[in-house]
Amino acid sequence: MATPTRTQKQIAERYKGNLGYYRRKHPWRVARFCASFVALAGGVAGILIYQKMIFRERVSEEFFNSGKISSNHAQYAAKCTVCHDKSAAFGQEITLAKFKTAVNERFHRGIDFTSIDLRCQKCHEENPRFEQEKKKYNLHEPNVVENRSCSVCHQEHLGPGRMERVADSQCASCHNNRGVMEASAQKGTQLSPAVFHLRSHPPQQVVWEMPRPQRGYTQVFASFDGDHPEFQLVREKARDPDVLRFNHQRHFAGDIPQVSGQKLDCNYCHKPDPEGRFYQRISFAANCQACHSLQFDAKNPEMKIPHGDVALVRTFLRTLPAQYADYARLKKGKTSESEVQNFVAQQVRQLREQFHSGDQLEQAVFFEKDPYKPQREMPAMTRANFAGCAFCHDVKAAGNAAPVITKPILVDHWMPQARFNHAKHVSVRCDECHRDARQSHETSDVLMPAKASCVVCHSPKTKKVSSDCITCHNYHAPPQTVTAAKVQADMRGSFKDMLLGSNH
| pLDDT score recorded for residue 130 | 44
| pLDDT score recorded for residue 497 | 37
Nearest alpha-carbon partner for 238 in 211, 199, 219? 211
CA–CA distance, 439 with 247 (Å, rounded to integer):
9
Q: What is the CB neighbour count within 10 angstroms for residue 453?
A: 17
- The predicted-structure confidence for 120-133, as pLDDT tens digits, reads as follows 877 876 545 444 43
* Residue 296 DSSP SS3: strand
- Residues 6+ away with beta carbon under 8 Å from 239: 444, 445, 446
Question: What CA dihedral angle connects 286, 288, 290 and 292, to 10 degrees?
Answer: -150
CA–CA distance, 286 with 269 (Å, rounded to integer):
8
CA–CA distance, 504 with 498 (Å, rounded to integer):
9
For 312-326, b/e burial (b = at least 16 CB within 10 A) is ebbebbeebeebbbe
Residues of the chain with pLDDT under 70: 1-4, 15-22, 51-65, 86-95, 106, 108-110, 125-138, 197-202, 370-385, 477-504
- Residues 6+ away with beta carbon under 8 Å from 475: 139, 140, 148, 153, 166, 171
Report which DSSP code applies to 291. Answer: T
| pLDDT score recorded for residue 53 | 66
| pLDDT score recorded for residue 309 | 92
Q: State the pTM of this model.
A: 0.71
- The predicted-structure confidence for 44-67, as pLDDT tens digits, reads as follows 887 777 766 655 555 555 656 678
**C-alpha 131 chain-centroid distance:** 24
State which H helix or E strand residue 304 sits in.
Answer: strand 300-304
Q: Per-domain residue ranges for the chain?
A: 64-163, 165-247+405-504, 293-391
| pLDDT score recorded for residue 59 | 55
What type of residue is 88? A
Question: What CA dihedral angle connects 351, 387, 318 and 407, to 10 degrees?
Answer: 170
| pLDDT score recorded for residue 298 | 74
